[in-house]
Structure 1
């Protein structure tokens, strides 16, 4: 199975086009005021509008007020909503969009966290504590993740071109989510790092294809 790649924390049209043309399947637009990658509605609209076809637009929120989320969804074209805080499944589904729930794996059991979100389109597993902001740039014990889980699993946390090969060989995740691991500065994506990471993902796919 081909591993999908989402590049998160996009802050410019140039970076959005660069990662899309490099082969990313999705981009993440951040709506969290405390993040250096936070976007205004105007910035997010411009980036979303500039994307080529078949690139998924994901909007990220962390314990945001429902009125704010509704405003963003009304003004910015987003395909999926991703929640990174303490949001309940009831809250996540209230906006009528497919949603991804981030699970903080620090000292937590995957199954205990995942069972509360049976209707999530995907579960993003990261190295932060449950309910924390994430984006720590640190990995966690990838062997915690089950193989062949019925929901799509998205691996995040400290992924770079140097370790993504091992991450994908250890897990069987549907997708990976990268941000700081492909940056030259917070919110600025590095074309060389993006290409190197995507090449490593393709290397795993080629090996799997040869064994099929």
Structure 2
């Protein structure tokens, strides 16, 4: 089975449809104004009619208020909400109850204890995402093009599906999957020519690499 892919930080219809054409399962849209991949609500509403129907849509949020998340869910008809901040299980329950979305909770990883801490969320979320902890001085919780020791994920029993993120590229994807045991991955900076600037060639290369992994 090929590796399932979420292409995150999509800002335009061209790259959304290209990712779908080459087999992405999820498209991620970032609603975090400090990110170079930030999408405003107005941009999201304008983009919605041009998005592919074959992919699931994920909104990415960092300690965002409930009303803003609701507006984003409506703007893009989101299937998933991905939480990258200090959200609690109670926040997750409220989002699922109020908006009918599935929830991904992201965790930064430096060592095995960070993965263990995620297990407390297993009864509440639908999936986990494990990314590298931001480097010192970074202003973003993800999309920093750094990885963590992938082998930490090997053999983990988490009770929920999970995606591997952090510094992934078409070139290192086979190694990352082998080391971690991942069957789903998230890529953002690894398919960009500059922060926030998606590359059609890199999107194609990454998704082709994912299909080739067995």
Fold match (TM-score > 0.5) = yes
Deviation (angstroms), 1:14: 1.3
Deviation (angstroms), 1:185: 2.0
Structure 2 unaligned blocks of 5 or more: 135-139
Deviation (angstroms), 1:66: 1.6
Alignment of 1:16-165 (within 5 A): 16-96=16-96, 97-107=101-111, 109-118=113-122, 119-128=124-133, 133-147=141-155, 149=157, 150-165=159-174
1:142-165 residue CA offsets vs partner (Å, 9 max, x unmatched): 111143633111000000011001
**Which one of the candidate residues 178, 188, 197 is aligned to 1:179?**
188
The aligned residue for residue 208 of structure 1 is: none
Q: So what's the TM-score if we normalise by structure 1?
A: 0.89
Is contact 2:154–2:179 with CA below 8 Å preserved after alignment?
A: no
Deviation (angstroms), 1:108: 5.4
Structure 1 unaligned blocks of 5 or more: 206-212
The aligned residue for residue 137 of structure 2 is: none
Structure 1: 4+ residue segments shifted above 3 A: none
1:8-34 residue CA offsets vs partner (Å, 9 max, x unmatched): 001111111111112211110010011
**In structure 2, the residue corresponding to 1:58 is in which secondary structure?**
strand
Distance in 2 between residues matched to 1:72 and 1:59, nearest whole Å: 7
Is contact 2:81–2:103 with CA below 8 Å preserved after alignment?
A: yes
More RCO (CA 8 Å, sep 6+): 2
Is contact 1:128–1:135 with CA below 8 Å preserved after alignment?
A: no
1:56-95 residue CA offsets vs partner (Å, 9 max, x unmatched): 1000000111221122223331000000011112112211
Indicate the larger mover: 147-156 or 74-83.
Answer: 147-156
